[in-house]
Chain A
Amino acid sequence: MFNAGRGIVHNHFDQSRLLMSTSLHTGKSTVLSVIWSNQYQATAVQDRFVHGQVVWVRVWQRLGRSGI
């Protein structure tokens, strides 16, 4: 991800994420995912970065004509 704009002086780089996931598909309409993300993120302070380890739980559904 990259930032741009008049106020962006030194943090044009925003962040970069590497993700790995495993998902459980229940029927045709619902997906439960557990995702691990390793991310590297710029801050508003020059030359200061955040290295984040993220655990992400996600539920996704299809509704309407092809789903529930």
Chain B
Amino acid sequence: MGSYYTVMFNPGHLPFFKAVATLALRMNVLIVMSIPRISHAQERQVVHQYQQWTEYGAQWKLTDKYSVLFDAGSRLIDNYLKGTFYYTRVGLDRVMSKSVAVHAGFAHVGYFLRSPRLRQVEHRPYQEITVTHIRNKWQVQQRLRVEERVFTPVSAHAADYNWFNWRFRYMCMVELRAGRFFSFGGGKR
């Protein structure tokens, strides 16, 4: 994980440990914010499901600063909203400094659920900024992404609509490189 952007740690920028401390604070805030409607917990209904995702992605480096990123994948869902998603995404990445990169792209997502009323496609332009710190075998990567999501039904069973909303995504991943061939990662999105 966290291999989208390969940039070197720059001691002249944010000190590594200060960044980790800031990150931990942000994660705590996010975890608290991620508990939805805790005051109405007794009314909350939670459905459990399993999903299987497969993905292929590639980074094609054009110059020292620019690269094209591509990924595509499918997602199988076995409970509640049963069915398949697929997505393709392509974007242009620019390295701004040794630890900062910006990226803009476009994603196309298909939601082919068993219920015909819920089948739809999504067109999703997005923009993001990524900050990466590398220290010895450790890498900490944070990403902030804004998505503009437009949904369109593909089923004759659904009423025609053109739904739009914004989505804001924050990601933090920590990766430990173990030897030449292996790495282990963890994080929150």
- The dominant DSSP class at the A interface is strand
* Contact between chains at A16 and B188 (CB < 8 Å): yes
Count the B residues whose beta carbon is within 8 Å of the partner chain — how many?
Answer: 54
Assembled-state Cα–Cα distance A40/B169 (Å): 14
Known interface pairs A5-B165, A59-B56. Does A50 touch B183 (Cβ–Cβ under 8 Å)?
no
Known interface pairs A13-B36, A35-B1. Does A19 touch B164 (Cβ–Cβ under 8 Å)?
no
* Contact between chains at B59 and A61 (CB < 8 Å): yes
Q: Which residue of B is nearest A1, CB measured? A: B169
* Contact between chains at B61 and A64 (CB < 8 Å): yes
- Between-chain CB contacts (< 8 Å), 7 pairs: A1-B169, A22-B184, A24-B182, A50-B48, A51-B49, A65-B63, A66-B6
7 more CB-based (< 8 A) A-B contacts, given A13-B33, A55-B53, A64-B59:
A5-B165, A43-B47, A50-B47, A50-B81, A52-B50, A55-B50, A61-B56
